[in-house]
Amino acid sequence: MGVFLNVLGELVELRAMGAGDAESLWRWNHDPEVMRFMVEGYPQTPETVTKFLTERPRNTYGDTLFGVESRKDGVLIGLISLHGAEPETGIAELDIYLGEKDYWGQGYATDAMRTACRYGFDRMRLHRIWLTVVVGNEAAHHIYQKIGFVDEGCLRQASRRDGQWRDVHLMGLLDGELR
């Protein structure tokens, strides 16, 4: 695929990320409340995050990273990615998180998910999008089910956070199932 343009949802706009987004990404990645269900990583410096955003390969069919902006005020509130896609299989993994807590519980994550999935099915011609969600992250699990993702299995003790192993739901969405 050629040019990746911004993608509009009802509440959000998905756009490419750049060096100007590093401070937000660094702040979110070091907020225990934001990261409580994410895989535990190592602390990074703001410079390391800037380097990641500026030196990563450009968005491609196989790896697309979008910043999630509120259309209401233009604030970057999170990120979403479709990655691991191959044209031969038509399958991609989706990852999302909203780092700006003032935007939680207002429909932004649901709209970002729908918008990214619509992009994946319509523009990338994907057949299947899959994701994982840690057992206990009921808010995210509810959003995924609401837009059509189906529980397909459980990966036992596949996520470790704060020294605790947790099971992970495996969920999938096929083209035509998006609600």
Nearest Cα neighbor of 166 from 36, 79, 41, 30 is 36
User: Are 87 and 60 contacting, i.e. CB atoms less than 8 angstroms apart?
Assistant: no
Domain at 7-127, CATH class: alpha beta
Residue with tokens 């702040």: 27
Q: What's the confidence (pLDDT) of residue 150?
A: 98
What are the tens digits of pLDDT across the range 81-130? 999 999 999 999 999 999 999 999 999 999 999 999 999 999 999 999 99
User: Are 147 and 44 contacting, i.e. CB atoms less than 8 angstroms apart?
Assistant: no
Residue with tokens 């050629």: 2
Q: How far apart are CA 130 and CA 150, in angstroms?
A: 9
Residue with tokens 């259309």: 71
What are the tens digits of pLDDT across the range 14-35? 999 999 999 999 999 999 999 8
Q: How far apart are CA 152 and CA 172, in angstroms?
A: 7
pLDDT band at residue 179 using 50, 70 and 90 as cut-offs: very high
Q: How many CB atoms lie within 10 A of CB 37?
A: 17
**pTM of the complete model:** 0.92
pLDDT band at residue 57 using 50, 70 and 90 as cut-offs: confident
pLDDT band at residue 5 using 50, 70 and 90 as cut-offs: low
Residue 178 has pLDDT above 90, yes or no: yes
